[in-house]
A and B are shown apart, each in its own frame.
Chain A
Amino acid sequence: MRKFKEFIIEKLILISGIASIFFVVLIFLFLLKEGLSVFNTVSPFNFLFGKSWYPISEPPQLGILPLILGSLLVTLGAAIISIPIGVGCAVYIAEVAPGKIKETLKAGIELLAAIPSVVLGFIGMVTLVPLVKNIFHLPTGLTALSGSIMLAFMAMPTIVSIAEDALYSVPKTYKEGALALGATHWQTIWRIMLPAASSGILAAIMLGIGRVIGETMAVMMITGNAAVIPNSILAPVRTLTATIAAEMGEAVVGSEHYFALFAVGIVLFVISFIVNVTADLFLHKKQ
């Protein structure tokens, strides 16, 4: 009897073990199931590179190029802000900060990662958006720039914590060797620690950026949601994620609009898949 019970439990454990694979495949299959129908009305090329997104006009125009460019612009801005600050902060925490402060900072970064994106979006709306509007004398502060700044704060916790891990896992002997040869602490960091941790730091940057591309609520609340090809960082844009979130509520199940939004989901899934697999390769190269 006990043997039988253990047999059942061990089978359950095995099933749960492979559940993650099952769910990833399930997500992809259901996106494909709903999304691929859009290619009955629009060719994949025209879908990806079509310049107009008017999903409810007659006939609907389903080109997501403006949305892709919107996502790219916001992501690029967020990357420019968050990479130097994030990596700098990681080096500070890993190498410079004294013991007590180090623990506090690590906990603080973890708490930043926990702030819900809708709260960041709200705070961006009431503080950052008016600020951007006044500084640049714009008709509206809901711009790609506002989105980039706010999203930078969502990428930073990921970048800081993974880059800090990478620096921490550099063998102690490397550092001691450099210091013993008379290098200053900074020379050791710059010439030894950073190159040794480079693949981990690269993975940190990729995962941070992956988080930005997938971010939805904050970006929807502060980038202005204009589905046109952006001509400046100070113009309103609309991202892939915000389009799904803003329009799915109105799309009729089974309509072309509905299928198109799922196809946008496929694009997002594929991007995040590539980012995560590549980052994982970098993380494993290290070991």
Chain B
Amino acid sequence: MKRNPHRTQNIAFFFLLVAMLLIVVPVSLIVVIIIQKGLPAINWQFLSDVPRQGMRAGGIFPAIVGTIYLVTGAIIFALPIGLLAAIYLSEYSKDNPLNRIIKLAIVNLAGVPSVVYGLFGLALFVVFFKFGASILSGSLTLGIMILPIIITTSREALESVPQSFREVSLSLGASKWQTIRHIVLPNAIPGILTGTILGLGRAAGETAPILFTVAAFYLPQLPKSIFDQAMALPYHLYVISTQVPNVDEKIRYGTAFVLLALVLFMNLVAIIIRYKFRKKKKW
């Protein structure tokens, strides 16, 4: 029997469709289940109260606040370094071995397992610098972890600014830094913002790097300084799903919902900014 290429094509495309559905359907189910079971748990008290009765009742307020502190700390550390590194790669570096090694280092930094970041944070910040388990240690660990995300996206944004913009500015007598500061950076802001938000989202969702550097099992009061421990949403979800028996399912789903909503919201904002920017781009 001679094979009909068009029939082969139909069969092949059918399997490609199945592959796509095998990803899309389970993922949609995951999101729907968490929304369906988590949303009813959300009310003002859940968001604003401390955990009560050994975390079997009450709310998740300290975990939300802890995550906000950690994410803010991480971005304060990572954004300046990441942005300057991106400027270096896009505006200053030449095609030489150093440039190649830097890019390789960024790839590796992005690939280091999150739990290894936890170990590193423990060894360097908690033990060596004697910061103890604290918001400072956790933020710095998360900050190094999200550095590659910020560098890569910011670099792309800077490189997408047309060369002619720079040439015009330089030919008018502006210095290299003036050109970067007044011409290149303003045009790259949406891309840099996208990278920053993606980094925030990643830092908010990670658990392993904060396990031994900051996360507290239970703290009734909010942290007062950057040398205090703090609760955090992802660690709290881990604790109430595996470490504490008999937690009401509603509380677990509610916590998962808040975390997922926070992370997906940030990513959605990043995607929308990028999409709008691409559409508006005049060059």
Contacts and interface: CB of A to CB of B under 8 A. Distances in A.
Interface of A: 2, 6, 9-10, 12-21, 23-24, 26-27, 30-31, 33-34, 84-89, 91-93, 96-97, 105, 107-112, 114-123, 125-127, 153, 156, 160, 184-187, 189-190, 207, 210-211, 213-217, 221, 241, 244-245, 248-249, 253, 261-262, 265, 268-269, 272-273, 275-277, 279-280
Given A89-B23, A108-B24, A119 B208 contact: no
Interface string B12-27: 1101111110111011
Interface in B85-136: 85, 87-89, 92-93, 98, 101-102, 104-120, 122-124, 127-128
Interface stretch (B45-53, B184-192, B221-229, B252-260): B252-260
A80 B193 CA distance: 37
Nearest to B100: A284
Contact of B237 (A9, A93, A118): A118
Contacts of A185: 9
A115 B23 CA distance: 14
B57 to A, nearest CB: 19
Given A88-B16, A187-B9, A221-B242, 9 more contacts: A17-B85, A17-B88, A20-B109, A93-B20, A96-B17, A115-B264, A117-B114, A121-B241, A245-B115
A110 B267 contact: yes
Given A105-B24, A216-B114, A272-B113, A13 B19 contact: no
B113 A215 contact: yes
Contacts of B252: 122, 126
A185 B30 CA distance: 34
A117 B5 contact: no
Contact of A265 (B105, B116, B235, B260): B116
A245 B210 CA distance: 10
Interface in B130-164: 144, 147-148, 151
Contacts of B101: 21
B151 A30 contact: no
Contacts of B208: 216-217, 241, 245
Interface stretch (B58-66, B68-76, B165-173, B199-207): B199-207
B271 A110 contact: yes
Contacts, number: 265
A210 B111 contact: yes
Given A13-B92, A20-B105, A241 B113 contact: yes
Contact of A156 (B17, B23, B107, B259): B23
Interface residues of B, number: 89
A210 B208 CA distance: 16
Contact of A261 (B104, B119, B201, B238): B119
B107 A114 contact: no
A111 B264 contact: yes
A122 B256 contact: yes
A216 B260 CA distance: 18
Contact of B19 (A20, A21, A88): A88
B115 A268 contact: yes
14 contacts: A16-B85, A17-B89, A23-B109, A27-B120, A88-B20, A92-B16, A111-B264, A118-B205, A125-B242, A156-B23, A186-B5, A265-B119, A269-B112, A277-B104
Contact of B205 (A24, A27, A119): A119
Contacts of B176: 6, 10
B105 A31 contact: no
A121 to B, nearest CB: 7
A17 B93 contact: yes
Contacts of A15: 84
Contacts of B206: 116-117
